[in-house]
């Protein structure tokens, strides 16, 4: 799974950075599978945020919204790659399973762990773990997160001068809370 994620990420970078014809090794099916996963994840995290708001977990809701925005960055990047390979970015949408916020955090953490150890996924997982460990402490107030619109990196409290993952400048981060 880890190897697959690495290959897929390399493939996305190669396709995005290339203005020439697609590399013959590019695997459209892998990109379509990733697109489907990210598109469904985005919807799931939006619903998790709504559930957290309903239960009064304001900080967890903020994090779910930030990760949902990051998933959007990922599927939009994938859609560009898919288009460059001559494909159409369509995804079969699943019915999300929404439980309690604690369970949703646990499910999200499990999902991020299963997706491999890509740097951005690892950062999302770390923040989800922090939200789980601080569920009550984070309850009273929304929290500020910053999402890199280039790579989907998420930072807490402030945007870095330069994204440590993709090198994008601070201006490429958007605040989500
Ligand atoms: Fe970035």
Rounded to the nearest angstrom, the distance between the alpha carbon of 125 and the centre of ligand 1 is 16
Kindly give the distance from the C-alpha atom of residue 6 to the centroid of ligand 1, in angstroms, as a whole number.
16
88: CA distance to ligand 1 center in Å? 25
CA 51–ligand 1 middle distance (angstroms): 28
CATH number of 2-176: 1.20.1260
Residues near ion ligand 1 (CB < 5 Å) are 148, 150-151, 153, 163, 165-166, 168
Task: Please give the C-alpha separations between residue 132 and each of 21, 49, 92, 94, 175, in angstroms, as whole numbers.
Answer: 45, 14, 30, 25, 21
d(CA 80, CA 165): 20
pLDDT of res. 26: 54
Q: What is the pLDDT of residue 12?
A: 46
Query: Could you report the average pLDDT of every consecutive run of 10 residues in the chain (177 residues)?
Result: 47 45 63 95 98 98 98 97 94 96 97 82 96 97 98 97 98 98
Q: For residue 93, what pLDDT is reported?
A: 97
What does the pLDDT read at residue 1?
43
Tell me, what's the pLDDT at 114? Answer: 80
Distance CA 31, CA 9 (A): 9
Q: Are 72 and 41 in contact (CB under 8 A)?
A: no
Domain residue spans of the chain: 2-176
150 CA from centroid of ligand 1 (Å): 5
- Looking at residue 163, what is its pLDDT? 98
Terminal alpha carbon distance of the chain: 31
Distance CA 133, CA 73 (A): 27
Q: How far is the CA of 56 from the centre of ligand 1 (A)?
A: 30
Contact of 118 with 147, CB cutoff 8 Å: no
Q: How far, in Å, from the CA of 153 to the mean position of ligand 1?
A: 5
Residue 22 DSSP code? P
């Amino acid at each position: 799974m880890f190897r697959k994620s690495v290959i897929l990420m390399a493939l996305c970078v190669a396709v995005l950075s290339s203005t020439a014809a697609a590399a013959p090794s590019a695997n459209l099916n892998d990109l379509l599978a990733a697109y489907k996963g990210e598109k469904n994840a985005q919807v799931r995290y939006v619903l998790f945020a709504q559930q957290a708001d309903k239960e009064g977990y304001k900080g967890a809701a903020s994090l779910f919204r930030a990760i949902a925005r990051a998933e959007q960055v990922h599927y939009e990047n994938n859609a560009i790659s898919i288009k460059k390979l001559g494909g159409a970015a369509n995804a079969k949408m699943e019915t999300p399973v929404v439980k309690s916020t604690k369970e949703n955090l646990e499910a999200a953490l499990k999902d991020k762990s299963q997706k491999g150890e890509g740097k951005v996924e690892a950062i999302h997982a770390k923040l989800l773990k922090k939200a789980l460990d601080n569920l009550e402490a984070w309850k009273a107030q929304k929290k500020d997160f910053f999402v890199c619109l280039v790579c989907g990196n998420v930072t807490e409290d402030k945007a870095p001068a330069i994204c440590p993952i993709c090198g994008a400048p601070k201006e490429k981060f958007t605040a989500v809370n």
